[in-house]
Amino acid sequence: MVVYAGAESADSVSNAERQYRAILFARSRVRLQERPEDEPKTWRFEIRLGGEPMLVIIRDSISTDTSGLAVHRGLVIEVDIHATSEHEARGKAVGLASLHLTAVSIATRAPVDSPNLVLLYEITASKTSDLDFAQSQDVELPLGKVPAPGTVVSRVQQALVSIPDPRKAPSDPARRTDVFGCTARNRARSSLHHALARVRSARSTAGCRAAATA
């Protein structure tokens, strides 16, 4: 169930200048913390896709159960995007969150669920009224299926097997530092960025080949 508030006004800014923030949640076998007893960790990705600046923030979601034990619930994803409408913003946010969670799953070889939209609200700086707002309750909705292009899957598979298995990393922190002073955590984040770049490159190549064939 989605609750909407806000509407476009006649004197509002142009649709091209509208900005939205989405909050999503995904159950996950992955945590950003290096150790369960560490404080919740946050990763921040500032990227540009299609010439538009976008921000993706991923953080640990931890709560305390009835016995006082801290339990890792999953990952919270915050996405800032530009969009012409609430509907377009929703699609962009879910797509970006899914892309980054897929990269996290690939890098760690652990399952991460599809992200569920919790909140979506307009943050256009020049607007002070008639701001879009949408809140989703925890209701399972049927999702459309995306066809898997073999060329892209092959590229991702090659990128995946080239990433070291983090479960086999040395347990001694001193041994996790390489000659450049990068820790295993930083290398994992670097591998994640490289995986994202390879996926985008594969998609672009597949699209060019499809256009050439047509």
69-120 pLDDT tens trace: 888 999 999 999 999 999 999 999 999 999 999 989 988 888 999 999 999 9
| Distance of alpha carbon 94 from alpha carbon 143, whole angstroms | 12
| Distance of alpha carbon 205 from alpha carbon 50, whole angstroms | 15
Question: What is the helix (H) or strand (E) element at residue 160, kind and residue range?
Answer: helix 150-162
Residue type (1 letter), 29: R
Positions in the chain whose pLDDT score sits under 50: 1-4, 7-12, 174-185, 210-213
Contacts of 70 (CB under 8 A, 6+ apart): 36, 62, 63, 64
| Distance of alpha carbon 117 from alpha carbon 101, whole angstroms | 14
- Integer-rounded Cα Rg, in Å, for the chain is 19
For residue 127, what pLDDT is reported?
82
Nearest residue to 87 via CA among 34, 15, 39: 15
- The DSSP bridge pattern shows strands 116-122 and 52-64 to be unpaired
